[in-house]
Structure 1
């Protein structure tokens, strides 16, 4: 099972730079071990404000307890709070490892909030879902849509995208039938790769 985890670190006042550097070094080394075990799949940094220290991670675990054991084993956990979201399988997900990582493209976490109109009958819904599936397949084949999941919140679907620019991403998202029909709203978070991101390490 996969989980999206937002990790927020707050270093206590008075902590020396040497102590911070030592824990960060242990965190990096342990993260490599977890990546080798298939537990840490990806790591990114969202946009950060002054003094913020936050990471978004994609983890694999057998369940909530197994995920907690992984998170608790990470050295930075002494200063960190973790917010996990369990990810379910979406019918339009290209699948893990299906879409190659584009080295020069930016990555984006995109959250779809689907709201089907009350007056939409079953045939209209089926037609819309079929069109959405076809377009998702096209965007995955083009290397844009990397992953798509469901979440515990009904109608809220996290996804991972890559594109050369934010404008290109917005055009891709606008091409989805549900976007054009205003059946969904979209939240977009630009991501930068974390120094300990397993994908980045593999390319080094």
Structure 2
């Protein structure tokens, strides 16, 4: 299944800068692993915000939740998930 996922990150004002840097670095590493496994297909940044939209793949909503809730930034994330269905005029994946 494919999912369109919006993630907004809210870092606490009093967060230790070292912790924030470490969590951010771990998040980038984990995102690379998820891209390599095919779970994270695409990712777009929302300009000027700590927010992104991503195209994700998982077997079902439960697997997607397991993947996203294990992300290092999870405690600071607000997530909205939209399940996607095939459309009859979809031109297919572009390369």
Larger Rg: 1
Structure 2: gaps of 5 or more residues = none
- CA deviation map 1:8-67 (0-9, x unaligned): xxxxxxxxxxxxxxxxxxxxxxxxxxxxxxxxxxxxxxxxxxxxxxxxxxxxxxxxxxxx
Are residues 1:165 and 2:48 paired?
Answer: no
- CA deviation map 1:131-176 (0-9, x unaligned): 1011111111111000111113512211100111111111000110
Structure 2 counterpart of 1:11 = none
Structure 1 counterpart of 2:32 = 137
Are residues 1:176 and 2:75 paired?
Answer: no
User: In the superposition, relative to structure 1, how do residues 191 and 153 fare at CA in structure 2: closer, same or farther (>3 Å)?
Assistant: farther
Structure 1: gaps of 5 or more residues = 1-105
User: Which one of the candidate residues 64, 78, 82 is aligned to 1:185?
Assistant: 78
Structure 2 counterpart of 1:199 = 92
Query: TM-score normalized by structure 2?
Result: 0.90
Please identify runs of 4+ aligned residues in structure 1 that moved more than 2 A: none
Aligned-residue CA RMSD in angstroms? 1.5
Query: TM-score normalized by structure 1?
Result: 0.44
What is the CA-CA distance between 1:197 and the residue it aligns to? 1.2
3-state SS, counterpart of residue 14 of structure 2: coil
Q: Relative contact order, CA 8 A, sep 6+: which one is greater?
A: 2
User: Which one of the candidate residues 112, 117, 134 is aligned to 2:7?
Assistant: 112
Q: How many residues align?
A: 94
Structure 1 counterpart of 2:21 = 126
Q: Distance in 1 between matches of 2:44 and 2:64?
A: 18
